[in-house]
Amino acid sequence: MKTSLLFLTNLFFLFIFSSSANSADIYAEYQITGTNSTPMISKMYGKNGNVRTETIMNVGGRPMNTTTLILKSNPNVAYVYNSLTTTYTEAKINSKASIKDISIKVLGNEKVGNYNCTHVKMTSDGKTWDAWFTKELPSFNFPISGNNELGSQKVMNELKSKGITGMMAKAVFLTPGGKSKAFTMQLVKYETKTLNASLFTLPSGYKKSSVTLDPEKMKNMTREQKKELMMKMIKEQQLKH
């Protein structure tokens, strides 16, 4: 559960930082809270159309730092790597997939932390989540091709048509059917500062994992097949330690 939550939240940053342009380098932190899990902090770095996220989680009693790197030069692949195994996994971003439908309902103005936000409920492809956007912070421009460009552009156009712009300060993802919370992400830190270009390169010494993650294929997997895939990733980690 923790592994799949981590993968989902890292890739979700592709959507968060894909609207209006901001030429400055950005550093942000989101606190992620799942059901029956210890809160995690996910760090995001954005520079020149590249995005890096770092999330620290506890695996088998040990902290594991998992990093996701999305490069403007190769926008159809997300590189997911961690310090425990010195390996990286490629997650494909399907260039032919797109969001089929999106429903956005404006629920009103609310305060999230120190930010004045607009609360919206969003439904797409059978999934439901609540999001809070603040105009007090600009969004980060991340021109990625394929699935996320097609999908997020449709979402952003719908948001703009309702007067919703700016940074996402909070998101609450719901379980299928929208009856309870699956996990929550909330912005806890935001800075504009110069970032080192080395943050956006794969570190030397890391080897490619035998596992390739394809979100489109995972949609059609059974629960057992998904579990088998995650166990294969965990087994690779155990073999190295």
The amino acid present at 143, given as its one-letter code, is P
Same domain, yes or no, for 89 and 20? yes
Q: Specify if 32 maps to a domain.
A: yes
Contact 185, 171 (CB under 8 A): yes
Q: Which residues contact 179 (CB under 8 A, 6 or more apart)?
A: none
Same domain, yes or no, for 46 and 87? yes
Considering its fold, how many domains does the chain have in total? 2
Q: Which residues contact 104 (CB under 8 A, 6 or more apart)?
A: 120, 121, 122, 155, 158, 159, 162, 164
Q: State both tokens at 151.
A: 């999908």
Q: pLDDT (tens digit, 0 to 9) for every residue of the chain, 241 residues total?
A: 444 444 445 445 544 554 434 567 889 999 888 766 678 888 989 888 888 988 877 666 666 678 888 888 887 788 888 777 788 888 876 545 555 677 899 999 999 999 999 999 988 777 788 999 999 987 754 433 333 443 466 777 888 899 888 888 998 987 776 677 778 889 999 999 999 999 999 888 888 876 555 555 555 666 676 566 555 555 554 444 4
Q: Specify if 185 maps to a domain.
A: no
Contact 65, 82 (CB under 8 A): yes
- Domain of residue 160, residue span: 103-179
